[in-house]
Structure 1
């Protein structure tokens, strides 16, 4: 059995294929980001999934693409946990950008590939190799235009009373905004980035409001100014995206990028289906 995994910071999508390439099952766990989770939490999220636990000995290959897997240290950390759980399998761990590339580009196609979900990232794929111009420092310093980036902005604007009164009441009704609760999630509980991203949904739901519209466009422009400009080929190749922020705001993504003379290509909410097709086509390629 082959397991193919696309793990964001919030959720991880798993697809199991048999030796004939037929799908046996699909399942989901909470995200397995090694930047923000301990070994104990990662293992708990694996063992509490009934389908994974029942089939852990059957797995012969596990291809894991995940947020937080951009450095060798973190890939090695997660690899060891997965190897312990799937003891009979060959484990391959790569950063989530590879999943975005394989899901949105054809063989040999060149593209800039961005992730706009709970977190954000941007890389260049030359058809064979992946180039990362800037190493991401994660949700506390970077992640421009992501769910957690927008979540931070909304909370700050709410507390400083910058958010328009018409939206403040909706925001209060939708979220628990007690300062002790917020600080507990940010400084004591796991996955503060995923917690912040839950507030980002408010922007999507209210994107036609002038205040929300402005914040979204400012975030998109910041993503271009910080990330996309790193690549000299930005005007020569399409810019593809995966992630819920890009997917649900794709009309605005295309508008802002076009205003900057940039061409947006494919936008997918989740890369898992394209990732499965890639592995079916290429076999057990690392």
Structure 2
């Protein structure tokens, strides 16, 4: 049996396939990011999913593509965790950008971007990924991501810059007690996921001018730092992966046009495309 996983910071989608390429089952766990989750937390999130544990001795290969898996140290952490659970499996771990490329363009050259809980981008030349910069994560980078917009909404609210019509609904949706917010930001696990929950609030107000302004500004920052440096034109396919890109596709396309680029496609969850890619390579 083979396991294929697309792991973000918030959630990880798993598909188990049999040797004859038929799908056995699919399941979703909490995110598995070795940069923000402890080894114990990574292990617990897998072993508490009974569908995975029930087949742990039958798994022969694992292909895990995950957020936070962009450095050798992080890859080794997650690889060790997976090998300790699936003791008969050969484990391959790579960054989520590679899964995004396989899901979006397959083997064709393209710029591929992720806009989910975090954000990232690469240029794929048909064989290799090219990154303009190493991602330093949610505190320093992650432009236009869920946690990026969550930080903006919190600042706008606490500085009194959020319009009353939005602030009232924001207060009704979240616990905005300052001590509670700070506890989740500085003392709890996964502050990036916590910040991204605030961004989900924007989905219901995507037509509001205030929200549109925030989104467009964030997208422009992303293009400035993560897309334009590749110096590619409209002839290069441009793909986006993730819920932020999916729910705000109309604004994303407008910002792309402003920068003389065209969005080729937006994929909310890449797992099905990733499955198709692996089926063709088994």
TM-score scaled by length of structure 1: 0.97
Cα deviation for residue 204 of structure 1 reads 2.0
- Give the alignment of 1:56-75 within 5 angstroms: 56-75=56-75
**Alignment partner, residue 214 of structure 1:** 213
Shift of 1:233: 2.0
* 1:260, distance to aligned residue in structure 2 (A): 1.1
User: What SS does the aligned partner of 2:37 have?
Assistant: coil
- Answer whether contact 2:117 2:147 (CA < 8 A) is retained: yes
Q: What does residue 130 of structure 1 align with? A: 129
User: How far apart, CA to CA, are the structure 2 residues paired with 1:55 and 1:228?
Assistant: 41
Q: Once the two structures are superposed, what CA deviation does each residue of 1:22-79 show, in whole Å capped at 9, x if it has no partner?
A: 0000001000000100000001101100101111111000000000001111001111
Residue 239 of structure 1: how far off its partner (Å): 1.1
1:192 shift after superposition: 0.7
Using the alignment, how far apart are the partners of 2:29 and 2:78 within structure 1?
15
**Equivalences for residues 11-50 of structure 1 within 5 A:** 11-50=11-50
> Contact (CA 8 Å) 2:3, 2:61: kept in 1 or not?
yes
Distance 1:132 1:72 in 2: 16
Unaligned segments of structure 1, at least 5 residues: none
Deviation for aligned residue 1:236 = 3.4
Q: How many residues align?
A: 282
- Partner secondary structure for residue 264 of structure 1: coil
CA contact (8 A) 2:112 2:238 kept: yes
> Do the aligned partners of 1:112 and 1:234 also contact (CA within 8 Å) in 2?
no
The answer as to whether partners of 2:147 and 2:192 remain within 8 angstroms in 1 is yes
Report the Cα distance in structure 2 between the residues aligned to 1:233 and 1:226, rounded to whole angstroms.
Answer: 14
Determine the structure 2 residue equivalent to 1:53.
53
Unaligned runs of 5+ in 2: none
SS at match of 1:233: coil
Aligned to 1:258: 257
In the alignment, what sits opposite 1:202? 201
RMSD: 0.8
